[in-house]
Amino acid sequence: MQGQRFERLDALRGLAMLWMTGFHFCFDLVHFGLWRQDFYRDPLWTWQRVAIVSSFLLCAGLGQGVAVAQGQSLTRFARRWAQVAAAALLVSVGSWWVFPQSYIYFGVLHGMAAMLLLLRLGLLRLPTPVLLALALAALLAPPLWAAWGTTALDGRGLNALGLISRKPVTEDYVPVLPWLSVLLLGFVLARQGRVRAWLAAPLPRAGHALAGLGRWSLSYYLLHQPLLMGLLWLVLQLGARP
């Protein structure tokens, strides 16, 4: 069973990728001045972002639960983790080029890389009730910290933890807290035999395209925004010609 792909899990990733693509296309329309929307304060967009990030991290937790159940070696995990970490670095470099004042220094891939390390190097050994308690604590820690009112961990070198008094200026920010709660929930769910059985069940034909997309989720994540922005820029350049 080691290494068996679960097409239903791939399809869930693919669905998240499509949602993210639509979200980013709308963002790009605003960036190029083609639409007026407030992506930073309007709940229509801020809550969509929460849902999209949650779907990615839930799938990551499910994937780790499946991998552990299949006996995935640390070597194989390290290889995949290195790919995620390298992709996070590319996101930082690319976003600095486009948004130098608000580049992404700890976005979803950075957060995922940190959380995967925490999970695979220690947390996965904990019993399910303890993991659920940690997930709840991770969810509650940031608002409780904010209520305390201290700015001790607001600096860029420390705010990756997520215990901040105000959100930093960056295009994407996915700190360990509270987002570790979602990844842990996915991992706990995949510990359940019935959940793994559902994920391993045959996928209806209509979902095969989504599963194919989900299998290449990291590559797609890196390429979709440069392609979307490049195409929109090209359309604008062609439209501006006399």
pLDDT tens-digit map of 100-124: 999 999 999 999 999 999 999 999 9
pLDDT tens-digit series, residues 214-225: 999 999 999 999
- Across residues 130-146, what is the average pLDDT? 97
Q: So what's the pLDDT on residue 161?
A: 97
* pTM score over 0.75: yes
Of the pLDDT bands very low, low, confident and very high (cuts 50, 70, 90), residue 1 is very low
> So where are the chain's domains?
7-240
- 222 token code pair: 């890196």
Query: Tokens 């608002």 correspond to what residue?
Result: 143
User: Which band of pLDDT confidence, cut at 50, 70 and 90, is reported for residue 210?
Assistant: very high
3-state secondary structure 68-126: HHCCCCHHHHHHHHHHHHHHHHHHHHHHHHHCCCCCCCECHHHHHHHHHHHHHCCHHHC
